[in-house]
Structure formats: structure tokens, C-alpha cells
Amino acid sequence: MSILVNKNTKLIVQGITGRDGSFHAGKMKEYGTNVVGGVSPGKGGQEVHGIPVFNTVEEAVKATGGNTSIIFVPAPLAADAILEASEAGITLVVAISEGVPTLDMVRVTPYLKKNGTMLIGSNCPGLISPDESLVGILPGNIFLKGNIGLMSRSGTLTYEMVNQLTTSGLGQSTCVGIGGDPVAGLYYQELLQLFQDDPDTKAIVLIGEIGGDVEERAAQYIKEHITKPVVAFIAGQSAPPGKRMGHAGAIISSGSGTAEEKILAFEKVGVQVARIPGEIPELLKKLMSK
């Protein structure tokens, strides 16, 4: 089993004729993802890697039955691309675009909720259910099918953590890079519940980072709703206050959002927190053997 994407995913690539869209459309198709179409206004009728190109998402959905879309368009146009996908009936949108204005995401969020559209991102690496479907820019060769669910604010740490899991023989059900922007789509609480409800996910890894209070809220949600083992890691443990560490949302402001606060929040609800990523496989094995 998996969450969000699987062999039934029919993917549409928005911005497929651009450099990044074209490259990753080919990589996703090569992995085995069912890429049914692409969208690039004014270039309908073309093909990219054997994938038909349409002028609008609505045309692509009608012709292919697409249910998921991935967005590779410039940041100033990303919000409109997300809305176009939602209005066309796409149920899951994965926005790879980096630098999307925060106010654009604030504008988009209520429309997605009204339409029942789920969003991953923006500024994220996407997600993968190993051996089923890759929707994003993740390196498919490092993933191993299994029963560990993973969610992360950091793309780079996603790759590092998955490599640690795979080399330790711990396969993954689904891995989701949620992105590190201040306003984003599905976040820890929604993903925790999806993994909780997935019968083939036996344990969960949560990778957080400094800034905001989403990890603290996730800790409380775990206490109240999650019965499966959860192991966490918080990046930015040595970050000084007021200095942004990579992501727009990764900043300690007014003394809040520190790694120490987040670690304490998890430990208070019984979630084991690794001090370095390499500790996570052994923590998982101990928890899953109980």
C-alpha cells in the first residue's frame, strides 16, 4: 500500500516543454509513473518523450483522465497553474516551483479547499511510492519498497534519510517532501493521519527543521491520534536566532521555533528524536521489534 500516489496515478506535467519539465517528465516515465499528458499553452499537439502535450489542463484531463498534476512553471505563474489544475478536477497537485510568493499561496489555499484539491508544496521535491509511482524530482534509484512512511521539510535530508533507511534494509511505503515555505499544502498532521490509516505503513519518520511551530503541533497530534511508532529528526540544531537556514520558513524569530523547543515537544509525547540522521534506522528497528 501507499498514500497519495500509486499505480493508479495518471500524471499530467504542467510546463512539460520547459527544461526542467521535459527532463523530469522523462525521468518519471522511465521510473514507471503513468505520465499521461503534459500542458504547455500554445504547444498543444506536440509530444515530449512520447507524452502528448495539450494547451490547457482541462483539455488534458478530458483526453487522458489525468488525476494528478506536477508543476514546473516559473514562480510568478505557479499559483495560476495550481488553480488551473484544481478547476480542471485534478485531485492532487505537486508544485515543484521554487520562490512562489507567500501571498500567492495564501490566495490559492481557500480555492483548493473549496474544490477538494490536495497540494504538496510549493518548493518541494515531490513524493514517491517505491515501485509504484514517482511524482517529483526525487532520485528513484535510492528508494526501496517497504513499510516506513517518511515526511520531510527538507529535500536534501529526504535523500539522506532514505539512503540511510534503504542501506539498513528498511523499505518505504511513501516518502513525501513537503517543502519548507511558510505557506504550503499538506503538512505533518494530514500526512500523519494518512500514514496512520495505511495498513502497510508500520512506522513513520518525521524530518523537521527550525522555524514556525508545525513540529510542535505535529507532536500534539501524534499524542492524540497516532498509534504507530514515530521517530523524528530536527535540522538546524546549531542555527543562531534571526538567521535563515535555507528555506524561507526556516528561521528562528523572537526566540521561538528553535530546534530545542521542537525536540522537547516530541520527547514530551514519547516520540524518540535522533540527534543525527544515522540514528534513525536503529531507533526504528527497536521500536518495531516491541
The per-residue pLDDT for 244 is: 53
Rounded distance, CA 124 to CA 252, Å?
21
- What percent of the chain has a predicted confidence (pLDDT) above 70? 92
More confident residue, 183 or 8: 8
The residue among 74, 68, 135, 72 whose CA lies nearest residue 104 is 74
- Average confidence (pLDDT) over 13-35: 98
pLDDT at residue 156, as a whole number: 87
For the question of residue 247 being annotated catalytic, the response is yes
Superfamily of domain covering 139-288: Succinyl-CoA synthetase domains (3.40.50.261)
Strand duo 126-129 + 133-136: pairing: antiparallel
Give the domain ranges of the chain.
11-121, 139-288
Helix (H) / strand (E) element for 208: namely strand 203-209
Residue 191 CB partners (closer than 8 Å, separation 6+): 3, 149, 151, 176, 178
pTM of the predicted protein model: 0.92
Higher pLDDT among residues 62 and 180, named by residue:
62
CATH architecture of 11-121: 3-Layer(aba) Sandwich (3.40)
- In the Cβ-directed half-sphere of 4, how many Cα atoms lie within 13 Å? 33
Tell me: the pLDDT tens digits for 156-168? Answer: 889 999 999 999 9
- pLDDT at position 256 is 56
Average pLDDT (117-141) is 97
Under 8 Å CB-to-CB from 45, ≥6 apart: which residues? 53
243, pLDDT greater than 60: no
**Catalytic one of 24, 49, 225, 247:** 247
Higher pLDDT: 32 or 180? It is 32
pLDDT at 238: 60
Mean pLDDT within 27-51: 98
Write down the pLDDT at residue 240. 59
pLDDT of residue 250: 47
Q: How far apart are CA 37 and CA 25, in angstroms?
A: 10
Distance CA 34, CA 120 (A): 19
Please say if the pLDDT value at position 21 is more than 70: yes
Q: What is the pLDDT of residue 137?
A: 97
Question: Do 176 and 193 contact (CB within 8 A), yes or no?
Answer: no
95, pLDDT greater than 70: yes
* pLDDT at site 211: 80
Domains 11-121 and 139-288 share a fold: yes
